[in-house]
Structure 1
Amino acid sequence: MLTFIGLGLFDEQDISLKGLQAVQAADLVYLEFYTSYLMGTTIEKMEELYGKQIIRLMREDVEQNPEWLENAKTQNVVFLTGGDTMASTTHVDLRIRAKDMGIETRLIHGASITSAVFGLSGLQNYRFGKSVSIPFPYVSSRGNRVVTETPYDTIKFNLENGLHTLVFLDINSEHGYMTVQEALSLLLEVEEKRQEGIMEYQIAIGIARAGSDTVSVKADFANNIDAFDLGEPLQILIIPGKLHFIEAEALVKLAGAPNRLLEDFE
């Protein structure tokens, strides 16, 4: 048996009771922290609460050589991830591999940032379009700094259709955790290059440390980058499309957006 368990948003206490019971009943407990990370905890704290040794897997252990899957043929194995299980294509692929090996699987879900943002921002979940990720710039083979324009195009498409965009921010070993300020700077850099006016007078919403006691939610105009100093990671960005009155009111009263956001509804 292989049980996939989502750990939730922030620390070791976010695991569900059902998930905790499954961990405590397991023979082997594996964890991957490269697709998501619980900023409020450590593996040592998790082991203390769960009462189990946790074996951390690297990317190659999950995506390339998941030899540990063999253990699930004869033992009760748990696979832990931040957020909700199956939120990443990598995890779906792993479940398919297990199925092909004749291993029974089950899912125990956890809180996910993709659902938490609705409550934190006050935006309505059915008004979101396609989500997108912003990567850090990279250096091409010719030595040029390259900023990908795909996120800009996705936001443009959603805005043209009145839809909100959830923007995931890059995490990598070289640059660390991308901030909302860095993400907005990259979008504005593309805007300056293309001069399409997508980000001009555009409201943005930054959220940091969802699930913690120090969660920060801030709404302001995207070009007012200084307003989005949200502190520690993890952070996520929303570019809202056409707003319903309740959404606009929530952004003003709950996220500190400028009052002028309500002028269109007066």
Structure 2
Amino acid sequence: MITFVGLGLWDIEDISIKGYNAVKEADEVFIEFYTSRISSSLDEIEKFFGRNVRVLERSDLEENSFKIIEAGKERDVVILTPGDPMVATTHSSIKLEAERRGVKTRIIHGASIISAVCGLTGLHNYRFGKSATVSWHTSRTPADVIKSNLKIDAHTLLFLDLHPSPMRVNDAIEKLIVIDDGLRKVYGVGIARAGSESAVVRCDRLERLKDIDFGEPLHILIILAKTLHFMEYECLREFASAPEELKRLVV
């Protein structure tokens, strides 16, 4: 069997009791830091569980994923994933292929940034449109996704590239403005270290948001829709130090 275990948002203590027990009972334990990361080091993770944990590289998750699937035929295998396992399409592909080959799988979910951003900002979950990733390799895709979402009056959740180093909100905004200078006037929300005691949430126009020091990663960026529900506005004022001028978006 292959069990996908979500580690949650910030550190190893975010894992569920069910997930912890699955790790303790497994024959082999793997972890991947390709799709996301937590603040705990590998040494801290191994000490927490009291066992060896092997780090999976990108190739292990993609072209060589059959090796993990083969291991799951004979042994109980756990794959640890920051956040919630099935948010990443890579893990969905492994699960699908495993089931097709007769290997049973199960999922033990963890807290995801996708839902955490709603709690941190007060934005309504149903107001979000398609998400995208801002990568170090410049691409028009995130700007195009933002524009498509603005047309349907939806918020945009932007994941920030982790490789070769975690991108910061400031870097992401600079890239977006280079792609489309008109984006500097739209409103966004930058979030740093979600799930930690030192989380930072700030809202402003992108041209001002890019100059804010959010501190250490991990960071994520939200581009606001053309309009806001009045409760979204009130929450952003309270939770994200949003400027009063944002009220003009309230309908």
1:211 maps onto 2:184 in alignment:
no
Give 1 or 2 for the bigger CA radius of gyration.
Answer: 1
1:237 to 211, 221, 236: 221
RMSD between superposed Cα atoms in Å: 1.5
The residue aligned with 2:123 is 123
CA distance in structure 2 between the partners assigned to 1:92 and 1:191 by the alignment = 33
Residue segments in structure 2 that go unaligned for 5+ positions in a row: none
Moved segments of 4+, more than 6 Å: none
CA distance in structure 2 between the partners assigned to 1:250 and 1:227 by the alignment = 22
Contact 1:185 1:225 in 2 (8 A): no
Cα deviation, residue 96, structure 1: 1.5
Q: What residue identity is the alignment partner of 1:4?
A: F
Cα shift readout 1:237-258 (whole Å, capped 9, x = no counterpart): 0001021111011111110111
The residue aligned with 1:154 is 145
CA distance in structure 1 between the partners assigned to 2:55 and 2:20 by the alignment = 17
Range that drifts further, 223-232 or 254-263: 223-232
Query: What's the TM-score, normalizing by structure 2?
Result: 0.95
Query: What's the TM-score, normalizing by structure 1?
Result: 0.90
The residue aligned with 1:33 is 33
Contact 1:218 1:257 in 2 (8 A): yes
Counterparts in 2 of 1:220 and 1:56: CA distance versus 1, 3 Å: same
Matched ranges for 1:1-266 at <5 A: 1-38=1-38, 40-66=39-65, 67-137=67-137, 147-173=138-164, 176-192=165-181, 197=182, 199-241=183-225, 242-263=227-248
Partner-residue secondary structure (3-state), 1:116: helix
Kindly tell me the number of residue pairs found equivalent between the two proteins: 249
Cα deviation, residue 226, structure 1: 4.6
Cα deviation, residue 158, structure 1: 0.7
Cα deviation, residue 69, structure 1: 2.4
Contact 1:27 1:75 in 2 (8 A): yes
Q: What residue identity is the alignment partner of 1:169?
A: L
Cα deviation, residue 264, structure 1: 5.5
Counterparts in 2 of 1:77 and 1:178: CA distance versus 1, 3 Å: same
- State the percentage of identical aligned residues: 45
Cα shift readout 1:177-225 (whole Å, capped 9, x = no counterpart): 1111111111111223xxxx4x253111000000111111011111114
Residue segments in structure 1 that go unaligned for 5+ positions in a row: 138-146
Contact 2:146 2:223 in 1 (8 A): yes
